Structures are given as structure tokens and as C-alpha cells.
């Protein structure tokens, strides 16, 4: 009798674990599809930036509060709230990308005529831009600030938290590499996996910043 009960308990645990696992997989696939749908809803150019902010925001909520609640409603709310700000930030980023691409073309075409220090400066700017790009949308999904402040914060955090910055870049590159090897992942999991990895790594930094700010406020209040 006891042996039979143990088997039943073990069987239920397996079923419950499989059920949780399948729910996580379905939620991740749904979040991935939402990113594509809302990107298309904004005619791609106008939708990709708020959709990216939304997918990171939902991933942050999952890590903090679990997967309860409507993923669609949470995604839609952030998309609508951050639509304008995300697209303004996107315009700045696209402008910088075009500028970097133009300079790269100039380096290829006139490389022999360009001083070596200019070439080093270009690649230095390219690296800094990559660092900024890593942090801008996580910051936008976590903090309410003006765009110049987001750029400033992204610059400071990317350098002061360099190991985290590099970890994010490596994780994103790895997921993209695997997705290119297994294209079926792109439709169902690539974006949500990237969002979860970015949210996981950036959340720790944001928690440290928030704790530091709270301690400073309490110290100020105590002194006053």
C-alpha cells in the first residue's frame, strides 16, 4: 500500500512538472509571436522598437512575479505606453547606425588615405555604440526618464558593469547563432529567449541601483 502511494505521488510530481514545463514553453512561444505581431502592427519600422521594449518588460515581470496574468494585456499596455518614446529612441539609433555605416563605407573606399588614429577612433565609437544598444531598451522598460537620460545612463552602466554588458552580448550572439542554425526557433523562441536572458542579467544591476538609491534617500531623511 505504501509502495503504491509513493508511486502515485511520484507520478503526480512528474505530471505537474511536465505541465509547468509545457506552460512555460507555450508562454515563451506566445510572447515571441506577440513580438512579431506587434512589430508588423507598427508596419515593422514603427513597431519593432516598442515591441522590443514590451518583450523585455514582460520578461522582467515573469522573472519577478511569475507567469500568472495575461501576457497579451501586459505586452499591449507597455506597447501603447512606450510607443512614442521607443520610436523616438529608435530614430536616434537608426540615425547612428546609418552614420556608422557611412563611415565604414568611407573607411573601405578611402582606407589608404585615412589616418590610422581615425580608424581606431571609429572602432572605439562602434564598441561604445554596441554597449549603449545593449542597455537602452532594458532601461526604457524599467525606468521612466527622458531619452537623453537613458543614453547617459546606458553609457555609465555599460562601462561600470562591463562584465554584465559582455555577458549580455555573448548570450544574445549565442541565441542568434543557434537560431540561424535552427531557423524554426526564430518564429517561436528566439526573441523571447533573448528577452529573458537580457532581463535576467540586467535585473540584477537594476536591483543594485534601486537599493543604492533607496539607501541614499533613507540616509538623507535620517540626517534631516
Domain residue ranges of the chain, discontinuous segments joined by +: 2-223
How far apart CA 112 and CA 194 sit, in angstroms, is 39
How far apart CA 63 and CA 199 sit, in angstroms, is 8
- 63 Cβ contact list (under 8 Å, min separation 6): 196, 199, 200, 203
pTM of the model: 0.84
Could you report the per-residue pLDDT of 125-183, keeping only the tens digit for each?
A: 999 999 999 999 999 988 888 899 999 999 999 999 999 999 999 999 999 999 888 88
DSSP character at residue 70 = -
Percent of the chain scoring above 90 in pLDDT: 51
Buried/exposed 36-63: b ≥16 CB within 10 Å, e otherwise: bebbeebeeeebbbbbbbbbbbbbbbbe
DSSP character at residue 182 = S
Enter the C-alpha cell of residue 155.
Answer: 553609457
Could you report the per-residue pLDDT of 93-109, keeping only the tens digit for each?
A: 999 999 999 988 888 88
The radius of gyration of the chain's CA atoms, rounded to the nearest angstrom, is 22
**Burial tier of 137 (Cβ tally within 10 Å: 0-12, 13-18, 19+):** buried
Max CA separation in the chain (angstroms): 87
Of 43, 35, 41, 44, nearest to 72 by C-alpha is 35
Q: What is the mean pLDDT of residues 5-15?
A: 61
Q: Are 197 and 172 in contact (CB under 8 A)?
A: yes
Amino acid at each position: 500500500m505504501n509502495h503504491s502511494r509513493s508511486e502515485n505521488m511520484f507520478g503526480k510530481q512528474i505530471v505537474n512538472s511536465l505541465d509547468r514545463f509545457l506552460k512555460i514553453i507555450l508562454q515563451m512561444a506566445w510572447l515571441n509571436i506577440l513580438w512579431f505581431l506587434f512589430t508588423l502592427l507598427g508596419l515593422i519600422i514603427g513597431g519593432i522598437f516598442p515591441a522590443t521594449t514590451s518583450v523585455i518588460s514582460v520578461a522582467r515581470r515573469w522573472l519577478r512575479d511569475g507567469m500568472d496574468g495575461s501576457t497579451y494585456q501586459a505586452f499591449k499596455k507597455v506597447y501603447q505606453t512606450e510607443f512614442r518614446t521607443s520610436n523616438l529612441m529608435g530614430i536616434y539609433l537608426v540615425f547612428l547606425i546609418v552614420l556608422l555605416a557611412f563611415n565604414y563605407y568611407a573607411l573601405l573606399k578611402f582606407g589608404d588615405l585615412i589616418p590610422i588614429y581615425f580608424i581606431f577612433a571609429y572602432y572605439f565609437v562602434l564598441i561604445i555604440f554596441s554597449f549603449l544598444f545593449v542597455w537602452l531598451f532594458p532601461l526604457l522598460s524599467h525606468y521612466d526618464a527622458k531619452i537623453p537620460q537613458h543614453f547617459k545612463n546606458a553609457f555609465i552602466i555599460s562601462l561600470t558593469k562591463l562584465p554584465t554588458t559582455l555577458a549580455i552580448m555573448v548570450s544574445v550572439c549565442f541565441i542568434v547563432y543557434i537560431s540561424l542554425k535552427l531557423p524554426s526557433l526564430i518564429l517561436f523562441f528566439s526573441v523571447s529567449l533573448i528577452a529573458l536572458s537580457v532581463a535576467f542579467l540586467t535585473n540584477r544591476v537594476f536591483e543594485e541601483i534601486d537599493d543604492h538609491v533607496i539607501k541614499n534617500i533613507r540616509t538623507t531623511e535620517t540626517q534631516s
